[in-house]
Structures are given as C-alpha cells and as structure tokens.
Amino acid sequence: MALKILLVNPAIYDFAAYDFWLKPYGMLSIAGYLRNKAEFQMFDYLDREDDFYKTHKTRSDKYNKGRFFSQPTANPEPLKNITRKFSRYGLPRGLFVEYLKNNDSTEFVMIQTTMTYWYLGVKEAIDDLREYWPATKIILGGNYATLCYEHALKTGADLIVKGVDLRPLWDYLKIVPDLDQPGLWEIYKNLKVGVLKLTDGCPFKCSYCSVPKVYNGFKQRSMKRSISELEMLVKLQVSDIAFYDDSLLYKFDEISGPFLDEIIKRQIKVNLHSPNALNARFITADVADRMVRAGFKTFYLGFESKSVKWQKQTGGKVFSYELAQAVEHLKNAGVDAKNITAYQIVGHPKSDLQELEDSIRYVNSLGIKTMLADFSPIPTTPDSQLCSKLVNMDEPLMHNKTAFPIISLGFEKVDELKQLAKGLNRNIK
C-alpha cells in the first residue's frame, strides 16, 4: 500500500497578512516529485477557495489577490510593545482539529514554513497533530526551517529539511523521487492561482537578502518540467500565475524569454505576475514587449532607494536611471502605469543613507506606484549583524516586518512615510 502523507500549509500569526498569490509552492513541488509514489491529502489553512469562504466571504481583486479570514489575538510577549492589532490569519484552528479527528492518521505530515516570524502557526499545527495523531512523523521544510534551524528543532518535528538539498528527505521517506514531475496542483478542489519558478537563486548578493546564501548562485530549472507545470495549470483553468523566481529576467534570452514565447505561441490566456520583484536592469524594450504579449498584467520592480551610496553599499542590484529606463520600456509596450509598482524598503538599518522621502518622490516622478516594503531582518544575511544591535535575532518573532521598522524608525516616522507614499500614489491613474 502506498505511503500516506498529509500536506499542511499553516495559519499565519502577524500584524497583517494578505493573499498576494501565496501558495505553498515548495511543498507542492516536493509532493509532485512523489506523484504516484505516495497518497496525499492536504490541509491548506491559507486556501481562499476552501468551502469555508463560501460562508465567510472576503474580497478578492480582479487578479485574485485578497484578504484572509482573520481572528484578532493577543500580541505575543516579545511583540507586546508594538501597539498594532495582531491577528491569526487562515482557516480556524477548529477546522483542522475536526479534520484530524475525522480522518485516519497518515504516516507522515509535511509542513511548509515561510516567514521565520510566522512560526506560531507552525507550532499550532504541530501541537494539534501531536494531540490527535501522535504516531505521525512530522517533517518541516521551507524558510523558517532553513534560516532558523536551531529554533525549529525546538518545535518537536521529527525531521527538519534545511536548505534545498532534499536527499535527507528522500532517505527518510525511503522513496526515489521523479524530478521531472510538476507540482501536485491537482490536490486543490478549486484553484484560481498557480505558481511557476523557472530558476533558483540570483546572481546578486544584496546585503539584506537570504537568497544568495540559500541557493549559492543562480541556476535554471528544467525547461521541460516548467512547461509541463504550465500545461497542468492551464488544464486546471487557473486564471492567474505568479512567478516565484528571485531573478526571473536574468539570462532572459536563454530562460524566461523562450518560456514566454511558448506561452505566446500556444495562445495561452492567463494573467502573469511577478510578486518577488523584477530587476529593472534587465527590462529592455524587447523584454517588456514579450512580457506584455505573454500576459503579464502587474509589474513589481525592486528599487529600494535612489541613494547611490545606499545602492552601492547593499549590493548595487539596480540604479535609479535603470528604473527610469525600465518604466519607459514598459509604458511603451502598453503597460498601464497603475500596474507598475516599485518596492522600497522601509526600516533598513542603514535608513540614514537611504533618502527614503526623496526615493518615494523619485518613484512617483516616474508616474508609477510606490510600495513601501517593510524590512524584515533575516538571519544569515550580512545586514542581520547590524539588526542584532536593535533586536534579539535568535527570537524569530523579532524578524517581524511590521515590528522591525517601528523599532528601527519609530511609529511616527513609519506612519509619516506610509502617508507620503499613499498620498502620492493617488496621483497615479
């Protein structure tokens, strides 16, 4: 009899959470490698297409982003001085307990972890699993498991998969994976949003980012597998696909360019998005044109600051004139300015060099939207050294992206910057 595995995507405990095309892609990919070799069930607390939402409607925008069901809860002790509303986001805990009571236990449970400071949701799921399915072996993987390995050991999971080397997992399960298989998307009863990832890693080394350490370089994924994943998502009739690549446009002519051409050639009609931020440096007129023809609808560009000093000190991934050029190319390709957004980090430990107000105004002067991306200090990054002067980096809750900018800049400054960005964005039609 095939091995039975339950996949769990935990609830989120945070000051804010929004479904920005969030899917547990790492876990779905792993389950896909084991397609036909194990029997899967899934409990995704963050699935907004779950039947629960039929009676607890939350608003979605036209590209299927939207709010999660949420319940207010007390701030955890380390965040008690951050006087903002704290909530639990996702399907109610009782539904998972009911699920565990009404179903036979599986041999294994895999839990996807995402942000390091979301571990309370992971802990909640593990506590319930231990109570109702005590014999089940629990496996953790993902960002929290990788970046806070020592802390994750304390959750009581049986196996923690650190990083991207999956060999310990295959040994533990005693299954040989089929790495050509796409993610296990068919496990969802209703699916509107899918995810693709054509590459791993990034050629840059920004001082605030964990990607260089986790992936150690840049690598293309199998094109054959990416195409079969695309075919699968199209067959499942998703309307939106988000690319989870960290550097989608690097080596465009070899990787994402041919992939987008395939979408154009097959006349696939799906909305494409880039929540992880595109590098403006790589957006030429040709790249913009092919992205638009393939179906890209929203364009999120990583910018962070207009200060050359700050840009150089943090890795020099993009300079201001490159952002301006990219915006020009996108507009010429027919992109509506209100669908172009440049992210800027707020709360970075070198904020004094960042010229944030000027940076916000600069983005606005290009006629596009600005989005302040709250800075989260990430263990293992060069900047985490600086951050440890402000917070205890061994407590993952202190990596919280709402809390850190407030600790670093103060409530008033953060509010002032957000009001400035909000006000200027109103002019972008």
Q: Which residues bind ligand SF4 (CB under 6 A)?
A: 202, 204-206, 209, 211-212, 246-247, 279, 302, 315, 317
Q: Is 312 helix (H, G, I), strand (E, B) or coil?
A: helix
Minimum separation from the CB atom of position 317 to ligand SF4 (A): 4
Minimum separation from the CB atom of position 274 to ligand SF4 (A): 12
Which one, 45 or 300, has the nearer CB to ligand SF4?
300
Q: Which of 374, 280, 373, 285 is nearest to 320 (CA)?
A: 280
Minimum separation from the CB atom of position 213 to ligand SF4 (A): 10
Which one, 7 or 196, has the nearer CB to ligand SF4?
196
Minimum separation from the CB atom of position 210 to ligand SF4 (A): 8
Burial degree of 67 (CB within 10 A; 0-12, 13-18, 19+) = middle
Which one, 65 or 317, has the nearer CB to ligand SF4?
317
Query: Would you say 173 and 38 are in contact if contact means Cβ atoms under 8 Å apart?
Result: yes
Which one, 20 or 411, has the nearer CB to ligand SF4?
20
**Both structure tokens of 164:** 């991207």
Q: Which of 211, 293, 207, 208 is nearest to 248 (CA)?
A: 211
Amino acid at site 274 = S
Minimum separation from the CB atom of position 115 to ligand SF4 (A): 15
Which one, 278 or 397, has the nearer CB to ligand SF4?
278
Query: DSSP string spanning 214-236?
Result: HH-SEEEPPHHHHHHHHHHHHHT
Which one, 47 or 246, has the nearer CB to ligand SF4?
246
Q: Which of 254, 339, 352, 226 is nearest to 292 (CA)?
A: 339
Query: Would you say 405 and 347 are in contact if contact means Cβ atoms under 8 Å apart?
Result: yes
Neighbouring-strand partners of residue 200 = 219
Which one, 141 or 302, has the nearer CB to ligand SF4?
302
Amino acid at site 192 = K
Minimum separation from the CB atom of position 217 to ligand SF4 (A): 11
Q: Is 6 helix (H, G, I), strand (E, B) or coil?
A: strand
Minimum separation from the CB atom of position 106 to ligand SF4 (A): 35
Give me the half-sphere count of Cα atoms (radius 13 Å) on the Cβ side of residue 417: 24
Q: Parallel, antiparallel, or unpaired for β 218-220 and 199-201?
A: antiparallel
Q: Which of 123, 84, 118 is nearest to 397 (CA)?
A: 118
Minimum separation from the CB atom of position 373 to ligand SF4 (A): 10
Neighbouring-strand partners of residue 160 = 140
Which one, 184 or 345, has the nearer CB to ligand SF4?
345
Phi-psi region of 304 (alpha: psi -120 to 50; beta: other; left: phi over 0): left
Task: Compute the distance between CA of residue 405 and CA of residue 414 in angstroms, rounded to an integer.
Answer: 7
Minimum separation from the CB atom of position 314 to ligand SF4 (A): 8
Which one, 211 or 260, has the nearer CB to ligand SF4?
211
Between the alpha carbon of residue 332 and those of residues 327, 337, 340, the distances in Å are 8, 10, 13
**Both structure tokens of 402:** 């709402």
Q: Which of 326, 302, 193 is nearest to 246 (CA)?
A: 302
Minimum separation from the CB atom of position 191 to ligand SF4 (A): 27
Which one, 110 or 242, has the nearer CB to ligand SF4?
242
